[in-house]
Amino acid sequence: MPGARVASGDRVTLRTQESEDVPFLQRAAANPELRYPLGNSPRNREQFEIPDEDDGTNRFLVCLNGDDAGPGSPDEDDVQRIGGMTVRDADWRRPELGYWLIPEVHGEGYATEMLSLAIDYVFRTYDHPAVGAGVYAFNESSRGLLESLGFEQEGRIRRDRFIDGEYVDNVRYGLLREDWRE
C-alpha cells in the first residue's frame, strides 16, 4: 500500500514510496513513452528497491486519492498511482526535482499540481534559496511545465546523454524562493 501522505492538493497527493510500490515503479519506468524522455535504462525490481538508509533523496509516489484515503497508509483500493517525484540533494545543496506521470494521465493538469506541491514542500522543509530541475531539450511538455510555474532557464549541458540513438542536450532550470507564488 502507498505510504503516508506528505502533501495534498485538489486532486493529487504526494505519498512516501514504499516497497509495495516497486512493481508500479518498475512497470512505469519500462514504458518507452517515459523511459526515453527521462533518459533511464530499464531496471529490474531489485534495482528499484527503496533504500533502507537515508541517501539524501526524498521519494514520493504521486496518487489520485479516493474519498476514503486518509493521511496514513491507505488501502490499495483508495488510491490510484499515477507517477513518481524525487527531491535530490536537498540536505547539502540546491534541491533538484525529478518527476514523471504515466502516459494515461498526460495533459490533464496533474503535473502542474504535483510539481506545485513538491515546490511548496521543498521551500517549507529546506532552507535553500532556490530549487532546480533538468529536462532534455526535446521534452517540450516538461520545459513548458517548468516555465509555466516560473522556472527560468539557467543553462544547457550540450550533448549530455545518449538517448534513442543520438546525443541530446540537458536544459537546466531554476526557481528562486522569492519568485515562487505566495
> Residue 165 above 80 pLDDT?
yes
Burial of 20: CB neighbours in 10 Å, binned 0-12, 13-18, 19+: middle
Which set of grid coordinates corresponds to residue 69? 484515503
Listed by start position, the domains of the chain span: 5-128
Span 169-173, average pLDDT: 97
Helix, coil or strand: residue 118: helix
pLDDT at residue number 21: 86
Q: For 32-85, how does the pLDDT look when each residue is reduced to its tens digit (9 = 90+)? A: 666 555 666 666 666 666 666 777 789 999 999 766 556 666 666 778 999 999
Question: What does the alpha-carbon distance between residue 113 and residue 11 come to, in Å, rounded to a whole number?
Answer: 8
Helix, coil or strand: residue 93: coil
Let me know if domain 5-128 sits in CATH 3.40.630.30: yes
Percent of the chain with pLDDT over 90: 59
> Residue 169 above 80 pLDDT?
yes
Which set of grid coordinates corresponds to residue 141? 511538455
> Residue 94 above 80 pLDDT?
yes
Q: What is the 3-state secondary structure (H, E, C) of 11-80?
A: CEEEEECCHHHHHHHHHHHHCHHHHHHHCCCCCCCHHHCCCCCCCCEEEEEEEEECCCCCCCCCCHHHEE
